[in-house]
Amino acid sequence: MSSSPLSKKRRLSGTETKTGSHCSSSNSVRTDLSHTPANGMAKNGNDAEIDEGLYSRQLYVLGHEAMKRMQNSNVLISGMRGLGVEIAKNVILGGVRSVTIHDEGVAEWRDLSSQFYLREEDLGKNRAEVSQARLAELNSYVPVTGYTGPLTEDYLTKFQVVVLTNSTLDEQQTLGEFCHSKGIKLIVADTRGLFGQLFCDFGEEMIVYDTNGEQPLSAMISMITKDSAGVVTCLDEARHGFESGDYVTFTEIQGMTELNGCKPVEIKVLGPYTFSICDTSGFTDYIRGGIVSQVKMPKKISFKSLSSSLAQPEFLMTDFAKMEFPGQMHLGFQAIHAFQKKHGHLPAPWSQADGEELLALAKDVNSAQTGSAKVEQLNESLIKKMSYVAAGDLAPVNAFFGGLAAQEVMKACTGKFMPIMQWLYFDALECLAEEEGFMLTEEECAPKNCRYDGQVAVFGTKMQDLLAKQRYFLVGAGAIGCELLKNFAMIGLAAGEGEVIVTDMDTIEKSNLNRQFLFRPWDVTKMKSDTAAAAVKLMNPAIKITGHQNRVGPDTERIYDDDFFESLDGVANALDNVDARMYMDRRCVYYRKPLLESGTLGTKGNVQVVIPFLTESYSSSQDPPEKSIPICTLKNFPNAIEHTLQWARDEFEGLFKQPPENAMQYLTYRTLKLPGAQPAEVLEALYKSLVTDCPQNWADCVAWARNHWQCQYSNNIRQLLHNFPPDQVQSEGSSQAQTNECCFQELHMDYVVAAANLFAQTYGLQGSTDRAGVIKILQDVKVPPFTPRSGVKIHDDDTNFHMDFIVAASNLRAENYDIPPTDRHKSKLIAGKIIPAIATTTAAVVGLVCLELFKIIKGHKKLESYKNGFMNLALPFFAFSEPIAAPKHKVNWTYRECTCIHLLPHLHAGILKFVFTGFLSVSCSMTEIVTKVSKKKLGKHVKALVFELCCNDLSDEDVEVPYVRYTIR
């Protein structure tokens, strides 16, 4: 960015390069920032339609309203070094109205350490011009413009959000004051080696519509008192989960009806099952029932301008172990600006002289401060380390801050989630050598005119050589996998004698493109691993990378065998399920390989590092199981849409999945081998499917669907009402059931059409979506009259019509119980158990993963050097802690007296595993024993046996001991 101040002439100068769908360039300024992509599906703007096929996972994070607000925002991102391009990538994937990238500088060698859209042939070219076309490929809905002139006042007024990176402090203050006065939201982001800062100014009055993004809570009521502050008691089946200051509304209360449908009421939590509300002393007496629901209330927040906030900073803590550091780093960054202004460059890498000068400048800055900006005593060691690494440019740090800054852009555009108030500082000093006082030489860290200059400035050339020799196994090439590969390429992992092996058996789908940024629309249906490998080869041609299409598991242990794992330096997981994670964890524990584990859920992310003999493994701790829905609630007394959706899923399985499986069991002669009474049940169901319910034509399918509708949504509900009359109190506190009438409402037709088509597909018949034809058939369908039975007990126990059926079935069920229905989008999230995802969280999490990778490669031995991390960008919240130490095993134990070997009936990891529970007096070899017991010959790929020892100590207590590996080849 130019160091010149805002022009008073309000002129426009410089050049812009812009794109629609990879369009032409021009010197004229773009005024119409709306855009229609090549496929003509939608455009960003007030009349925007949202491409749910592309944004599906992100929509579950932001919601439709926030997405529409974001599509009205034009964003300027200044500075196209590593941090700037990372922010731009995430914002473009997010789907704003337009993005303009700005830079007046040209590409240098040190930029290639983290700017993944610059190549060696781009050296000397303007960074914005080169990056524009490559960024434009990320999202055809977002036009990307490159601008290379100075930032003038007239130019800035085109934007709702301005992001400054790689800018001077003078520029930040001047532009910050202008933006603050004009209501333009400002974000300032900077990284200096292992340090980073982020600042937000979203104006004097900003409305946050949803502070945390969580689904509103609800609870069932058992009592409400009449008092000056009425006390609400919830059923003691589950804690209400509310917090003081929350707002709630009430429905279905009998007696104290004044609360039903009232305006949101602020509450004060009294306990896990109670809270107080407004004055209820004048209300009628409470009788029974009722549901209390949380309401998201808009919150107004105010920001100070950058100049004001410099003098009175408000910090967001990112590491509770270093609570004194934000103030120190706040001064350190100002001192770096002062040094750069004085000399025209950053402090030289690991220069002791520059370190002393920066310390003196920091003292001067501190002495000029007043109030909260001033610290009592400078941390001289920290300030010097900031000087030593300030010239560095690290891809992982830029990935972390790029994810955070892009999320703040989205908050500024949408009012969704709580912004950072107002400064955030972060450091990763644990990545340096563990020895106290360790110093690298200036010579080792000086620029070499190579693509790793920005990284060598921090870690030196020896570390770069180590990175090039690494052999790593990456499991998964999805969102996290793509980000890891990008970072691997930038840091030079396996760029010499090493290799990265990435495996993923999936192909690319359209919905992947919103987060898995290595893929493009023309890559859809291609294999993820090969496509990702080719993409990162363009970013760094030196990386040695091989793509596989294998699922990791017992079936591929002949491929990923002893030789394979023993050749690795480490493993990185990029998986989407716990079972595969635990499998890879077991493999890494056995082969004593470090494991980098991470995951995301919407705006939440976590990082775990597993180091052999130092930390606990991934499998050592597990999350509690998901809370299940009671059968009686599911079958008879639902009170939430989640209950009706689960019921609809079960209905789908029973109607359209189980009958074909029964038929297949019968045809393959497996029915009679089933245990207990299952053979008779399967045969009875099979007879119903093939004889009594078997349709001959489309009309039969419609008739079946109509009668099934009658059974589920009218007759069964009438039976329930017969058993539980409306005036009978339900101990469950659920809604009173009611029947559905008339099969020709739109929702009812949705159900009949979907069910009839699914039924037709099951029997290989031609279906139809002609509603007029369906109505005509329905007019001739005879529906048997219903008579309730006495003495019946209530037991306590997408284009293919699948989602159409589940949504219709769920909403019909909800209609029975007066539960508010939900749309297809939310239904798919709940019923499909879809994991919400957004690119910002993924980028930030992977940045932290790669910082831990640096520590592993440097060979850190101290537990406190490593950091497990958890973040929630919505709050925002960050927490880091050292990993839990590996368990220690007792040494004084004896073999339990027993003489048997139990062979487990499976091969594990190319190893035959069995339990050895004592001494055996045998003269044959261990391989012969295993062969005799298992009655199988050992495969050639089996190179070791694993013994599970059952032992006790001298006091005869059971003792947990590690597996014993017995090498045979």
Tens of pLDDT, residue by residue over 343-366, are 999 999 999 999 999 999 999 999
Question: How many angstroms separate the CA atoms of 953 and 950, rounded?
Answer: 11
Lowest mean pLDDT among 420-424, 721-725, 790-794: 790-794
Q: What is the CA radius of gyration of the chain?
A: 32
Asked if the model's pLDDT at residue 899 lies above 50, the reply is: no
- Structural contact between residues 473 and 568, judged by C-beta atoms closer than 8 angstroms: yes
Strands 911-916 and 901-908: antiparallel
- Structural contact between residues 535 and 500, judged by C-beta atoms closer than 8 angstroms: no
296 or 738, which is more confident: 296
Q: How many beta carbons lie within 10 A of that of residue 211, not counting itself?
A: 18
- Structural contact between residues 570 and 594, judged by C-beta atoms closer than 8 angstroms: yes
Query: Smallest Cα–Cα separation from 716: which of 823, 602, 828, 635?
Result: 635
- The two tokens of residue 80 are 């196209």
Q: How many beta carbons lie within 10 A of that of residue 885, not counting itself?
A: 11
- Strand-pair partners of 74: 98
- Main-chain dihedrals φ then ψ at residue 894, nearest 5 degrees: -125, 160
Q: State percent of the chain over pLDDT 90.
A: 62
Q: Mean pLDDT throughout 566-592?
A: 94
Q: Mean pLDDT throughout 731-746?
A: 59
Query: Smallest Cα–Cα separation from 245: which of 268, 221, 216, 212?
Result: 268
pLDDT score for 719 = 80
Tell how far CA 847 is from the center of its chain: 14
Q: Which pLDDT tens digit goes with each residue over 84-113?
A: 999 999 999 999 999 999 999 999 999 999
Asked if the model's pLDDT at residue 535 lies above 80, the reply is: yes
Positions annotated as catalytic residues are: 632
Q: Mean pLDDT throughout 761-779?
A: 91
Q: How many beta carbons lie within 10 A of that of residue 619, not counting itself?
A: 15
State the average pLDDT for the chain.
85
Query: Smallest Cα–Cα separation from 100: which of 72, 128, 139?
Result: 128
Lowest mean pLDDT among 476-480, 695-699, 813-817, 891-895: 891-895
Question: How many angstroms separate the CA atoms of 229 and 610, rounded?
Answer: 52
Q: Mean pLDDT throughout 435-455?
A: 95
203 Ramachandran zone, left/alpha/beta (phi>0; psi -120 to 50): left
pLDDT score for 967 = 78
- Per residue, the 3-state secondary structure of 736-776, as one string, reads CCCCCCCCCCHHHHHHHHHHHHHHHHHCCCCCCCCHHHHHH
Counting every residue written for the chain, the total comes to 969
Strands 868-872 and 877-881: antiparallel
Q: Which of helix, strand or coil describes residue 967?
A: strand
Helices (H), 655-723: 658-667, 678-687, 698-710, 716-723
Question: How many angstroms separate the CA atoms of 792 and 723, rounded?
Answer: 8
Q: How many beta carbons lie within 10 A of that of residue 115, not counting itself?
A: 29
428 or 659, which is more confident: 428
- Which of the four pLDDT bands, split at 50, 70 and 90, describes residue 296? very high
pLDDT score for 436 = 86
- The two tokens of residue 212 are 């945390």
pLDDT score for 945 = 74
Helix (H) or strand (E) holding 16: strand 16-18
Query: Smallest Cα–Cα separation from 824: which of 269, 834, 23?
Result: 834
Question: How many angstroms separate the CA atoms of 359 and 366, rounded?
Answer: 10
**What is the model's pTM?**
0.80
Q: Is the peptide bond before 695 cis (omega within 30 degrees of 0)?
A: no
- Per residue, the 3-state secondary structure of 890-913, as one string, reads CCCEEECCCCCEEEEEEEECCEEE
Q: Which pLDDT tens digit goes with each residue over 708-723?
A: 888 888 888 888 777 7
pLDDT score for 175 = 97
Query: Smallest Cα–Cα separation from 127: which of 193, 76, 79, 83?
Result: 79
Asked if the model's pLDDT at residue 865 lies above 90, the reply is: yes
- The two tokens of residue 185 are 């939201």
Q: Which pLDDT tens digit goes with each residue over 379-394?
A: 999 999 999 999 999 9
Question: How many angstroms separate the CA atoms of 790 and 43, rounded?
Answer: 60
